[in-house]
Amino acid sequence: MTAITTNRAEFLFAGKAEFTLQSKESLAHFTYKLTASKDGQMFFVALLGQDGKQYAGCIPADKRTEFRTTRRSLIRRDHRAIVALEWFLKHLDSPQVEVHHCGRCGRCGRKLTNPESITRGIGPECAGKATSTARAAVAPVQGSEPPPNYQTEADAESRAAWDAHDRLHGAA
């Protein structure tokens, strides 16, 4: 794994980022995958480990410091990996944490070979696209309203996030 030493946010929110966070103090580490929804309004978070990939929750594109669990989250909010991710989202540039990518572009998933791309975590073809995609991802969805069968805004957002997850992964 290679440490990201430049713009961490660009890599993390490029669309297909697979990375490990490691505390420099405790050396504890957790590996995640952030996948953008097709409409770019949400990033789905999975925890990767020996048990495979487990859906953890989502991060709204317009509130990138806010991790949310949903009804289908397989990992509790008080799990150490989720606590670490929530802290990191609020401290992206903290020198206390190292961010390592798995050698693949955070946007398209292709293997990185260019030294500058390896440092950035995004390939040369995707470097310009990642920035424009990131800007587009924060634009609000016009005309979207919560489903009528949900009582609160948080419930509606959770349902919308999971519906987007189902569409992205082809669930029935």
Task: Examine residue 159 and state whether it is found in any structural domain, yes or no.
Answer: yes
Flag whether 134 is in a domain: no
Q: Compute the average pLDDT of residues 117-121.
A: 87
- Alpha helices in 2-123, H assignment, sequence order: 8-12, 80-90, 115-120
Return left, alpha or beta for 3; rule: phi > 0 is left, psi -120 to 50 is alpha, else beta: beta
Residue 5 is predicted with a pLDDT of: 67
Residue 97 counted as domain residue: yes
Q: pLDDT band for 119, please (50, 70, 90 cuts).
A: confident
Residue 149 confidence (pLDDT) above 70: no
Total count of domains within the chain: 1
Q: Tell me the residue range of the domain where 56 lies.
A: 2-118+147-169
Q: Give the chain's mean pLDDT.
A: 80
In a domain, 140, yes or no: no
* Structural domain includes residue 48: yes
The first and second tokens of residue 93, run together, are 């540039």
In a domain, 131, yes or no: no
